[in-house]
């Protein structure tokens, strides 16, 4: 049996939990919008066409902020197409995903949906085919109360009060050759700088995210961030990161250690941003927006892949990358959330991509049901429990070797301390495929009163690690009580099943 010893000291914290790290992403891609969050005529749709069954799951998931409308989609999108009477909106070809966009769902609908869902809007502007003018006009339309052409147009279109969108993305993945309007770092850096200035002239209180490199494997990575921030450092608040991971050729060990790479990615971008800060003698720090992350099984030959969809002509909301997630995927997602939380002093925003159907924690069927995927559970429980201060942990765990990332801890962990409730939340993943893990948690400055609850996601009896939740069996994998967790005084002990993710909530007092 493997082992891990975790030491917590009440005086060693990282930062306040940035609640925006529990974000999600809605893009006009595949069935995320149409038959995902929006399906007029569905038995559970309301008068606005919002699917109430999906809405209920979104609320249970606990997402705090949702990025919209893309993604690759935004680099060819005219925001004006999604406002005004639906019957008068144009139908457009979307080159990003080779689909036919009806524009039946646009900015007004998304703002209404987000308010109902209780999430903050994170709006992206098109810096691919458009630029400064369209960006500043969108801010005027959304955020100015009245008295201008565009603010009055919003009022005419049904929203008297401004949307007050505070969080804005300056384009998407602009170093990617696949991107409509792809740019060099110099071109994008200057454009982002000028768009940011113009947008702040309209609303000085907005927060702005500059595009980082599309992923850490890009040849532009590092140099891109340095160049873009050299131009735009004073005009922006965040730089973005995107990363997707998958299991290759049955190498579960490397896949389970993917968060080691996420840690390195985050720390590399922090180092680059801080180097630009030092060289430019800037006062503020640039924080990070990890606004796309997830497990994504990229299989170009699949019938529902973007490459194959394009061979079937221009269609409305075809099925695209509707991955079904298993227990291994859920454990890996738990480690990603741990990585984001551990870096909460600089990662202030994060968005799991995407929310419904497209590599998503929620699946739905047209005219049918909606249900939770395995990856829903670690996200929802962490979003529920992670409040207060992020604790800085000392972790002494047995390790295992893997082909891609070297040695990795068998037990991956993050934790928070909520002084208002007097509770510590521990989030633990056992990466071991075969062995359970004995975990000892040493509390310094705290005395444990009781275990409020302890739940585990593991392989169900009689199943294997590839089991998924399906329409026929939507509850095959979920959180169940973890027995045998003991807490008293300054010590907590638990045994984590092989290949599992666990959340433990403790009631404690400071001593």
User: What are the E-state strand segments in 211-307?
Assistant: 238-245, 287-295
Q: For residue 180, what are the CA distances in angstroms to 129, 136, 280, 378?
A: 7, 20, 31, 35
Q: From 178, 158, 117, select the one nearest 355 (Cα to Cα).
A: 117
Token code pair at residue 256? 């389970």
What's the token pair of residue 300?
Answer: 């170009």
* CA pair distance 286, 275, nearest whole angstrom: 11
Asked if 350 contacts 343 with a C-beta cutoff of 8 angstroms, the reply is no
Nearest to 328 by CA among 459, 481, 470: 459
Tell me how far apart the alpha carbons of residues 127 and 203 are, in angstroms, rounded to a whole number: 19
Q: Residue 86: which H helix or E strand, with range?
A: none
Name the pairing type of β-strands 389-397 and 347-353: unpaired
- Whether residue 182 contacts residue 241, with contact meaning beta carbons closer than 8 Å, is answered with no
Closest CA to 296 of 267, 269, 327, 322: 322
Residues 6+ apart with CB under 8 A from 364: 31, 35, 36, 51, 53, 54, 356, 357, 370, 371
Query: Is the distance from CB of 500 to CB of 429 less than 8 angstroms?
Result: yes
Residue 13 phi/psi, 5° resolution? -125, 160
**Residue 115: Cβ within 10 Å count:** 12
Task: Give the whole-angstrom CA distance, residue 326 versus residue 211.
Answer: 31
Q: Cα separations (Å) of 237 from 79, 165, 261, 346, 349?
A: 23, 15, 24, 11, 11
Annotated catalytic residues are 173, 292
- Is 417:13 a contact under the CB 8 Å cutoff? yes
| Greatest CA separation for the chain | 69
* 110-113 LR contacts (CB < 8 Å, sep 24+): 110/26, 110/68, 110/69, 111/159, 111/163, 111/165, 112/48, 112/50, 113/37, 113/38, 113/48, 113/50, 113/55
Q: Is 380 exposed, middle or buried (0-12, 13-18, 19+ CB in 10 A)?
A: buried
DSSP code string of 362-401: EEE-TTS-EEE-TTHHHHHHHHHH--SEEEEEEEEE-EEE
């Amino acid at each position: 049996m493997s082992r891990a010893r975790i030491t917590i000291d009440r005086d060693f914290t990282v930062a306040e939990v940035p609640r925006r790290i529990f974000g999600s992403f809605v893009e006009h891609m595949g069935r995320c919008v149409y038959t995902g969050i929006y399906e007029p005529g569905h038995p559970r749709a309301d008068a606005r066409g919002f699917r109430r069954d999906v809405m209920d799951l979104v609320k249970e998931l606990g997402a705090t902020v949702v990025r919209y409308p893309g993604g690759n989609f935004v680099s060819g999108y005219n925001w004006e197409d999604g406002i005004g009477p639906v019957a008068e909106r144009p139908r457009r070809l979307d080159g990003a995903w080779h689909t036919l966009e009806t524009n039946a769902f646009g900015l007004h609908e998304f703002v209404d949906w987000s308010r109902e869902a209780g999430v903050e809007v994170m709006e992206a502007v098109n810096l691919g085919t458009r630029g400064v003018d369209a960006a500043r006009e969108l801010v005027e339309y959304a955020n100015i109360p009245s008295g201008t052409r565009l603010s009055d147009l919003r009022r005419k279109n049904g929203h008297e009060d401004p949307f007050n969108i505070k969080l804005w993305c300056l384009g998407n993945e602009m170093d990617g050759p696949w991107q409509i309007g792809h740019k060099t770092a110099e071109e994008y850096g200057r454009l982002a700088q000028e768009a940011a200035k113009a947008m702040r002239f309209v609303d000085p209180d907005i927060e702005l995210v500059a595009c980082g490199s599309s992923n850490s494997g890009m040849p532009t990575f590092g140099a891109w961030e340095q160049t873009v921030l050299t131009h735009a450092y004073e005009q922006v608040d965040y730089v973005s990161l995107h990363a997707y991971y998958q299991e290759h050729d049955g190498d579960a060990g490397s896949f389970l250690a993917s968060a080691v790479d996420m840690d390195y990615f985050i720390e590399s971008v922090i180092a680059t941003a801080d180097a630009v800060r030092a060289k430019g003698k800037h006062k503020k720090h640039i924080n990070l927006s990890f606004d796309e992350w997830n497990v994504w099984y990229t299989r170009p030959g699949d019938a529902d892949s973007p490459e194959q969809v394009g061979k079937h002509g221009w269609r409305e909301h075809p099925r695209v990358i509707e991955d079904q997630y298993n227990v291994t995927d859920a454990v890996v997602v738990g480690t990603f959330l741990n990585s984001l939380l551990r870096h909460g002093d600089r990662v202030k925003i994060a968005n799991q991509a995407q929310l419904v159907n497209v590599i998503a924690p929620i699946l739905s069927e047209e005219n049918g049901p909606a249900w939770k995927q395995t990856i829903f559970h670690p996200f929802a429980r962490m979003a529920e429990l992670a409040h207060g201060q992020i604790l800085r942990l000392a972790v002494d765990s047995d390790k295992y070797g893997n082909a891609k990332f070297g040695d990795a801890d068998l037990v991956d962990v993050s934790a928070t301390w909520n002084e208002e409730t007097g509770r510590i939340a521990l989030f633990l993943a056992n990466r071991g495929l075969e062995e359970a893990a004995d975990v000892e948690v040493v509390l310094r400055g705290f005395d444990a009163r009781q275990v409020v609850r302890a739940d585990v996601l593991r392989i169900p009896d009689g199943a294997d690690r590839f089991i998924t939740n399906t329409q026929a069996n939507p509850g095959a994998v979920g959180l169940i009580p973890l027995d045998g967790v003991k807490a008293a005084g300054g010590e907590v002990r638990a045994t984590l099943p092989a290949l599992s993710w666990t959340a433990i909530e403790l009631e404690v007092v400071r001593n």
